Amino acid sequence: MKTQLVSIIVPCYNQAQFLDEALQSVLDQTYTNWECIIVNDGSPDHTEEVAQKWVAKDARFKYIYKENGGLSSARNAGISKAMGEFILTLDADDKYEATFIEKALAVMLSNNNIGVVSSWEIRFIDDKQFGERHPKGGTIKDFLFTNAAIGTSLFRKECWEIVGGYDENMKKGYEDWEFYIRVCKSGWTVHIIEEILFFYRQHSISMRTVAVNDYDAEIKKYIFRKHELLYKEHYDTLIENFMYEIDFEKKERAKIYTKIDFRIGVAILKPFRIIKSLFR
C-alpha cells in the first residue's frame, strides 16, 4: 500500500488564518506517500505567504494560484494537476485525524466497487468539540434526497474523470453531494469509516449554513432537474419524500402556534388589528 500516491487538494479562499492547522494535519498523517496541492482561489488575504512557507518546509507540498472561481473550480484545478491515483479533499479551515489516509486507503483497496471513502465527523470551535455527525454512505438510493457522506473524502481519481469533476455552476453549496450522486450513478458505492476522523471547523456564518438557510430549495431544484431521469426512475420515492417534508413542515408550524409566547403575542396584537381594520 505504501506505493499508492494520494493527492490531497486544499482550496483556500480567505482562510489563511486556519491554513497552518489544516496543513499540519496533513503532515501528521501516518501514511506518508502523499502530495498536497494548495490551491489559492484568488484569495485577497495572505494565503500565498502561508502556503509558500509549507512548500519550503516539505517538498510534498505544492502551490498553485488561480483566479477566483469558487470551491468546485478550485478543487477541479487542483485535481487536474494531481499525480496520485487517489484524491483527498480538505478545506483550508478543517482537519483530519492522523490515521485517516491510512485507514481510508486500506478500505478503498479492499474493494474495487468502493469509489469514495469518508468517516464520521465532529465540529469544533477553538478547543471545543461538539455535534458529531454519523453519515451512512451507501449507494445511489441513499443519496437521492440528502448527502449521506461528509463533504470531504478520499476518492478514486478515475471517479472524478468519468463523472466530469465537480460542477462549477454550483457556487452556493451542495457541490459535494451532487458529485457523490454522479459517482454513485456510475456504479460505485460510498463507504463510511465509523470513527471520528474528520474535524469540521464551525463558523457563525459558513458556506454550509448559508446554503441550508438561504439556498436549500434553489439548489435542490437544480439537482433534481439536472438528474431528471434519475428522479423519474425513483418517482414513488420522490413523492414520498415530498409528502414527508410537507408533513414535517406542518408539524413544526403547529409547534410554533401552540407555544404560549406565540399565543400571548396574538392576544396583544388583536386590538391593533381591530383598529387597523377600521381605517381600511
Residue 194 pLDDT more than 90? Answer: yes
- The full 3-state SS of 86-111, as one line of letters, equals EEEECCCCCEECCCHHHHHHHHHHHC
Helix axes 16-27, 47-57, angle to 10 degrees: 20
For residue range 143-155, list pLDDT tens digits in order: 999 999 999 999 9
Q: What is the mean pLDDT of residues 102-110?
A: 98
pTM: 0.86
Within 13 Å and on the Cβ side, how many CA atoms surround 135? 26
| Cell matching residue 113 | 466497487
For residue range 130-181, list pLDDT tens digits in order: 999 999 999 999 999 999 999 999 999 999 999 999 999 999 999 999 999 9
Please state the domain extents for the chain.
6-227, 237-278
CB 196 within 8 A of CB 97: yes
The predicted pLDDT at position 128 comes to 93
Distance between CA atoms of residues 50 and 163, nearest Å:
33
Q: What is the mean pLDDT of residues 4-22?
A: 97
| Cell matching residue 270 | 388583536
**CATH number of the domain at 6-227, please?**
3.90.550.10
